[in-house]
Amino acid sequence: MNTFKIIILIFTSVNIFGQNKQFFYEYKSIPDSTVKNIEKEIMVLNIGKDKSEFYSFERYKSDSTSIADAKKGISSAFPNKKMNRDRVVRNINAQKIEYITPLPPYRYSVSQSIDFKWNILAEFNNILGYDVQKATTEFGGRKWIAWFAKEIPIQSGPYKFFGLPGLILKIEDVHKNHIFELKGIKNTKGDFTYPYLNSYRDLKITYPKYIKIYKNFRKNPMAGSIGSFPDQTDANGVFHSGDEIFRKFEKMALEELKKDNNIIELDLLKLKK
């Protein structure tokens, strides 16, 4: 059964007090502004007693499987599909978030303080049976429209968004390049811990430091792999130097980044170098 259909089936209208919750959002995005193809992915907002965590549902399943296989001595094949690699963790009583994102060879834990300036409007709608109210804000170089439900008294939302007097059920930028919309709710038990894959070197940094690292990554995405490709002879007996192989992968990485020109925080592509 399709993952999206599974999420729809688990939706129930429940009392949200006294239990941990998982809120499932459909995330629609247009990564390449020149093509306008829409990509879809199910994301999860996990709400615990003191902490929220936002992540890709498919990535979570993949990472969980990899760890389970490793314990059995099995080497898992990495899924050949595009999945969101980032996570957002927040103390639900604070304005500071931890943005976890891999830029090989590191997995960065980025400490970021955000003070959203919300404009709450006298406009109302209904999403999945919940009465919602409209609010707007600006973040990451985009103008955003949010719909929040006061009857779900959780001041959180998808991605880095929070701070409204109720859970954000839907949020989109005004040009509809990035849209998060609630599709289901599930009760959970116990504390949530995201599966830890020891495949990167972990490094904690500030957000200003991350901006510099990210901009350097966009210019030189293979910097962490210099010198890591040995000389090889292919199946046809043709010799390829390690430097030649490196340049091939570098070209591919740069071409992929050119297609990723419509990122959610557009400011990261516009800030001065």
pTM for this one? 0.87
Q: What is the pLDDT of residues 74-97, one digit of tens each?
A: 666 666 678 899 999 999 888 899
pLDDT given for residue 12 in this prediction: 39
Pairing relation of β-strands 106-113 and 201-206? parallel
Whole-number percent of the chain with pLDDT over 70: 88
Q: What is the pLDDT of residues 157-200, one digit of tens each?
A: 999 999 999 999 999 999 999 999 999 999 988 788 888 888 78
Task: Give the helix ranges, DSSP H, for the chain.
Answer: 3-9, 57-71, 207-219, 242-259, 267-270
Q: Is pLDDT above 50 for 17?
A: no
| Domains along the chain with CATH numbers | 3-188 (2.50.20), 209-270 (no CATH)
Nearest to residue 207, comparing CAs of 106, 98, 120?
98
pLDDT given for residue 218 in this prediction: 92
Dihedrals phi, psi of 73, to nearest 5 degrees: 80, 20
Long-range contacts of 251-255 (CB under 8 A, 24+ apart): 253/221, 253/222, 254/221
Beta-carbon neighbour count of residue 60 at 10 Å? 19
Q: Tokens at residue 179, please?
A: 């849209």
- C-alpha span between 27 and 44 (Å, rounded): 10
Q: Is pLDDT above 60 for 28?
A: yes
Q: Is pLDDT above 60 for 14?
A: no
Mean pLDDT of the 245-261 span: 88
